[in-house]
């Protein structure tokens, strides 16, 4: 019986199908898995296309399986070969997919190919792979389908596409751009007799007809070129998936194949992969005892023997100290007192606590003239984390040596250990820092205390198994992760004009809280006594407040040097990105570059406190000139970070619900560009495609942690206005299974009561942390598919470290929540012995490059982002 007839037999209902998903390192895989799990009530297992257990010469027994790939497939009812970077004719890009097309007779099982999987299937049955004249990434078009097989009953199908390559079966519609009669569209060709076309895309004249779906004439293989799982593919995509499963079931019933349960082969961790590839045992990889490590003050590299330390012991050292150099700081209780903020601004409180001259970490929300948040849902809180001289502990991690250090309050390395997974240490530390008792006063602050700091882009690369670029010789070593354990905090709730003064420092720190409230209270009184017109006018960026003789001398235009990436060089890299995209290796690449502002060291900055003060003044100028919901000031160790980021990476609450707010799509406010011009540009398919790709990527990441049915797009591509730019912003939420609270973007920062974290089970409340770790580095700074894109960018950007820029910055709260921004629109200075005479402020900037980008316009966009920060350095 022909397969066509079989498809009309109604499918019997079965127990949840077991489906294998072959992952070609795409950034949308988990969306497909989630869609299939929901639409088919299936159980989907994931296997990477290069799983070392199934490589020629692998020693499967060592890796927990004794099966060949074909035997292994017997435990599944069907397989999905997913999308991915690269080309179907390169064995490395498709890996195990190739094995599927060789299945014969009793080994056969239904397969569904998507994009790369579809192309790989086509190649196996005679087709060629060609480049599209105009690549399609994140673009939606209406597909013409046959209304049969997987399209039976499917109505108007609007499908998102992510491809640069296409399948050529030498069909008349592809060669002559015409068919003799309509039915010919669905006929197979002499070149590929087994390929029966099921759908075409005629949307793009330049590209002509593009094959969008086919089925194999005899075998149970179906495939589609488009992405049914994208948020912008309409519901007919789901309908089609259900149809596929009906076709597959019919085939299964007819051939009476029964999947055989064999011992499950679970996905390997990154470390297991590394071991497998190098044929080493895990213990050999995890416990080297000699490493290159950094010293204390000078941070020079030397070799020494390092002891190993387990995460539990590290956590206890931070919490309980020792009897010598580490203080006893058990966060048993959150001491909290509340006071009104009145007209007090964050900077006023900073002055009260001498922050301009000390080390500190501040996460600040830009405000409107009336001191209310700039944006509902992102800018409600500001957090001042106080660094206590000679006491505050820090965690440093370096990707090149894989060394994790605990530094004491004097910046001496107290202990250090080689770690294979730094995040398991940090997770254990956070688990041990959870307060045992309820806060002593009512506090609705999202942060009580905990780790504050940043994670570099390179630390993010480790998460996706991309080797970070090496430090250059003259580059002073900067930790890739730097977190201070902050025990005293002052949190503003700008919405209700309240201040929380909190300490988790030890059970006896209550007097500090009362004293601090007293000082703030006095400042509130003082500020109210000063007559100020109400509402307060927004300070003019160039008003007298900003005129400061020290800054004036420092920023003398005759002495400062602004080194911006050159136009020709940057545009050429954009073109290179596009060339790589056209070959199918990436859908979108976030290209970046480093720009510098060099200024002679200030003669008045002759002490640490005056150097700090200079950074603080520059930061104050930045936040006044470029108010942003995620401004930040970090003055720690040898680092000065001045940030005016508009972008939230991820925020999660104590119950484990998370929110991501990726930005993609930028229009610079230039003379003559009106708001309606900006709206028109940001509504164009090009800008929307850029944003859509990142939305789908973020959904994939959250699906990977929260599972099917728990991820929602709550805002798709809203236009937000900033001081110098317009941006396209989306919001994606994830809610743990069983947690009811689904919030709108506006409700996201509504205060939660302090007990809420206790209601969540430990498994669900840690999902936010998992999502934070698993989503590094931030997708809006990489492009998609993430892993391949990062490898390409590393090469294109000249193997230069991005460092803190492109990483994330924020806090891990002892109560279980967290909030991090993407480090963009940020100036970073590192004090090192290398340059005695000059300060070098680095301001990274870049933008997403797609097939539709115009190189010159990308350069302008990069400059626009750079100057939004660099303005603070203009005298
Ligand atoms: C790369 C930067 O920004 C990123 C790129 C954007 C874009 O391409 O439109 C927008 C926001 C950021 O995610 C930067 O500011 O340097
Ligand atoms: N999404 C995909 O699987 C893309 C497949 C292939 N890399 C292309 O660009 O055509």
Residue 58 lies inside a defined structural domain of this protein: yes
Q: 434 and 814 in contact (C-beta within 8 Å)?
A: yes
Instruction: Single out the residue in 274, 289, 314 at which a domain terminates.
Output: 274
User: pLDDT tens for residues 70-116?
Assistant: 999 999 999 999 999 999 999 999 999 999 999 999 999 999 999 99
- CATH number of the domain where residue 205 is located: 3.40.50.880
State the complex-level ipTM. 0.99
Whether residue 247 sits in one domain with residue 173: yes
Residue 692 lies inside a defined structural domain of this protein: yes
Give 281 or 406, the one with higher predicted confidence. 406
CA distances from 734 to 27, 480, 526, 701, 745 (A): 17, 28, 44, 10, 12
Residue 81 lies inside a defined structural domain of this protein: yes
Q: Which residues of 492-502 are buried (b: 16+ CB within 10 A; e: fewer)?
A: bbbbeebbbbb
Peptide bond into 220 cis (omega under 30): no
Geometric angle at alpha carbon 128, from 246 and 125, rounded to 5°: 45
Listed in order, strand segments (DSSP E) in 342-467 are 360-364, 381-386, 394-398, 403-407, 413-418, 450-455
For ligand 2, atom 3, the nearest C-alpha belongs to 83
Q: What are phi and psi of 212, to 5 degrees?
A: -110, -20
Whether residue 160 sits in one domain with residue 25: yes
Please report the pLDDT score of residue 62 as a whole number: 55
Please report the pLDDT score of residue 25 as a whole number: 98
Whether residue 762 sits in one domain with residue 697: yes
Whether residue 317 sits in one domain with residue 209: no
Whether residue 745 sits in one domain with residue 621: yes
Closest ligand to 587 CA?
2
Helix 767-774 × helix 685-706 angle, to 10°: 130
Residue 292 lies inside a defined structural domain of this protein: no
Evaluate: CB of 306 within 6 angstroms of ligand 2.
Answer: no
The mean pLDDT of 769-777, rounded to a whole number, is 98
CA distance 164 to 88: 12
The mean pLDDT of 701-721, rounded to a whole number, is 96
Q: Of all atoms in ligand 2, which is nearest to the CA of residue 583?
A: 9
User: pLDDT tens for residues 683-698?
Assistant: 999 999 999 999 999 9
Range of the domain at 68: 3-7+17-274
Listed in order, strand segments (DSSP E) in 250-311 are 290-294, 301-305
Whether residue 38 sits in one domain with residue 180: yes
Residue to probe by mutation, ligand 2, list 26, 159, 162, 223, most atoms within 8 Å of CB:
162
Instruction: Name the domain count of the chain.
Output: 2
Residue 286 lies inside a defined structural domain of this protein: no
Please provide the average confidence, as pLDDT, over all residues in the chain: 89
CA distance 215 to 288: 52
Look up residue 474 and give its two tokens. Answer: 């003259």
Q: Of all atoms in ligand 1, which is nearest to the CA of residue 665?
A: 9
Evaluate: CB of 118 within 6 angstroms of ligand 2.
Answer: no
User: pLDDT tens for residues 840-865?
Assistant: 999 999 999 999 999 999 999 999 99
Residue 531 lies inside a defined structural domain of this protein: yes
Residue 281 lies inside a defined structural domain of this protein: no
pLDDT category at 56 given cuts 50, 70, 90 is confident
Pocket of ligand 1 (CB under 6 A): 590, 592, 647, 663-666, 780-781, 822, 824-825, 844-848, 865
């Amino acid at each position: 019986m022909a397969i066509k007839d079989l498809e009309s037999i109604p499918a019997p209902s079965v127990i949840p199908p077991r489906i294998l998903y072959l992952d070609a390192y795409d950034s949308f895989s988990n969306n497909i898995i989630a869609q299939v799990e929901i639409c088919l009530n299936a159980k989907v297992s994931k296997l990477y296309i290069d799983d070392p257990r199934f490589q020629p010469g692998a020693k499967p027994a060592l890796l927990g399986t004794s099966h060949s790939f074909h035997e292994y497939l017997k435990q599944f009812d069907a397989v999905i070969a997913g999308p991915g970077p690269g080309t179907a004719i390169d064995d490395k890009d498709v890996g195990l997919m190739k094995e599927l097309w060789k299945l014969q007779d009793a080994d056969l099982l239904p397969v569904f190919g998507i994009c790369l999987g579809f192309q790989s299937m086509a190649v196996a049955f005679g087709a060629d792979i060609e480049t599209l004249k105009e690549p399609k990434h994140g673009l939606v078009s209406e597909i013409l389908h046959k209304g049969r097989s997987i399209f039976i009953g499917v109505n108007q199908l609007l499908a998102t596409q992510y491809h640069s390559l296409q399948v050529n079966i030498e069909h008349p519609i592809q060669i002559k751009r015409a068919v003799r009669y309509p039915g010919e569209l669905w006929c197979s060709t002499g070149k590929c007799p087994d390929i029966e076309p099921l759908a075409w895309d005629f949307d793009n004249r330049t590209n002509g007809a593009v094959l969008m779906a086919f089925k194999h004439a005899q075998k149970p293989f179906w495939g589609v070129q488009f992405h049914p799982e994208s948020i912008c593919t309409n519901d007919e995509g789901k309908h089609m998936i259900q149809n596929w499963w009906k076709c597959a079931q019919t085939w299964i019933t007819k051939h009476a194949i029964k999947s055989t349960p064999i011992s499950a082969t679970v996905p390997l961790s990154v470390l297991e992969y590394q071991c497998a590839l190098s044929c080493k045992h895990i213990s050999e990889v995890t416990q080297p005892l000699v490493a290159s490590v950094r010293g204390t003050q000078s941070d020079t590299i030397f070799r020494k023997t390092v002891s190993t330390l387990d995460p539990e012991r590290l956590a206890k050292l931070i919490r309980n100290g020792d009897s010598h150099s580490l203080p006893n700081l058990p966060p048993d209780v959150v001491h909290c007192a509340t006071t009104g903020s009145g007209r007090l601004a964050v900077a006023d409180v900073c002055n009260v606590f001498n922050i301009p001259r000390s080390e500190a970490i501040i996460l600040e929300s830009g405000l409107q003239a009336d001191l209310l948040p700039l944006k509902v849902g992102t800018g409600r809180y500001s957090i001042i984390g106080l660094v206590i001289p000679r006491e505050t502990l820090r965690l440093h991690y370096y990707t090149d040596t894989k060394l994790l250090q605990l530094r004491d309050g004097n910046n001496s390395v107290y202990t250090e250990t080689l770690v294979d997974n730094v995040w398991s240490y940090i997770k254990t530390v956070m688990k041990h820092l959870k307060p045992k008792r309820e806060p002593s006063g009512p506090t609705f602050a999202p942060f009580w205390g905990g780790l504050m700091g940043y994670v570099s882009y390179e630390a993010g690369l480790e998460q996706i198994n991309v080797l970070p670029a090496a430090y250059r010789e003259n580059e002073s070593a900067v930790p890739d992760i730097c977190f201070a354990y902050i025990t005293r905090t002052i949190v503003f709730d700008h919405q209700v004009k309240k201040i929380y003064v909190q300490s988790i420092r030890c059970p006896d720190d209550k007097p500090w809280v009362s004293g601090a409230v007293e000082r703030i209270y006095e400042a509130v009184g003082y500020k109210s006594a000063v007559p100020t017109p109400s509402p307060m006018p927004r300070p003019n960026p160039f008003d007298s407040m900003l005129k400061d003789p020290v800054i004036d001398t420092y920023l003398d235009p005759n002495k400062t040097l602004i080194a911006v990436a050159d136009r020709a060089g940057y545009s050429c890299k954009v073109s290179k990105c596009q060339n790589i995209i056209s070959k199918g290796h990436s859908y979108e690449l976030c290209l970046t570059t480093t720009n510098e502002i060099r200024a002679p060291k200030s003669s008045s900055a002759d002490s640490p406190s005056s150097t700090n003060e200079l950074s603080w003044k520059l930061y104050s100028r930045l936040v006044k000139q470029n108010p942003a919901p995620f401004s930040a000031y970090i003055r720690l160790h040898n680092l000065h970070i001045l940030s005016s980021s508009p972008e939230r990476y991820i925020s999660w609450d104590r119950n484990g619900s998370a929110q991501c707010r990726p930005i993609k799509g930028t229009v610079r406010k230039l003379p003559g560009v009106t708001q309606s011009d900006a709206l028109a540009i940001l509504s164009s398919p090009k800008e929307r495609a850029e944003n859509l790709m990142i939305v789908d990527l973020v959904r994939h990441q959250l699906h990977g942690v929260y599972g099917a049915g728990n991820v929602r797009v709550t805002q798709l591509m809203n236009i937000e206005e900033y001081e110098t730019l317009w941006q396209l912003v989306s919001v994606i939420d994830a809610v743990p299974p069983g947690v009811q609270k689904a919030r709108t973007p506006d409700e996201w920062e509504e205060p939660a009561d302090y007990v809420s974290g206790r209601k969540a089970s430990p498994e669900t409340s840690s999902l936010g942390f998992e999502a934070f770790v698993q989503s590094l580095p931030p997708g809006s700074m990489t492009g998609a598919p993430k892993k391949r894109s990062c490898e390409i960018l590393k090469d294109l950007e000249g193997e230069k470290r991005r460092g803190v820029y492109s990483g994330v910055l924020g806090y891990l709260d002892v109560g279980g929540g967290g909030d991090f921004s993407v480090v963009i629109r940020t100036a970073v200075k590192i004090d090192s012995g290398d340059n005695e005479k000059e300060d070098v402020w680095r301001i990274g900037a870049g933008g997403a490059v797609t097939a539709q980008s115009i190189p010159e316009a990308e350069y302008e966009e990069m400059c626009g982002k750079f100057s939004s920060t660099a303005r603070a350095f203009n005298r």
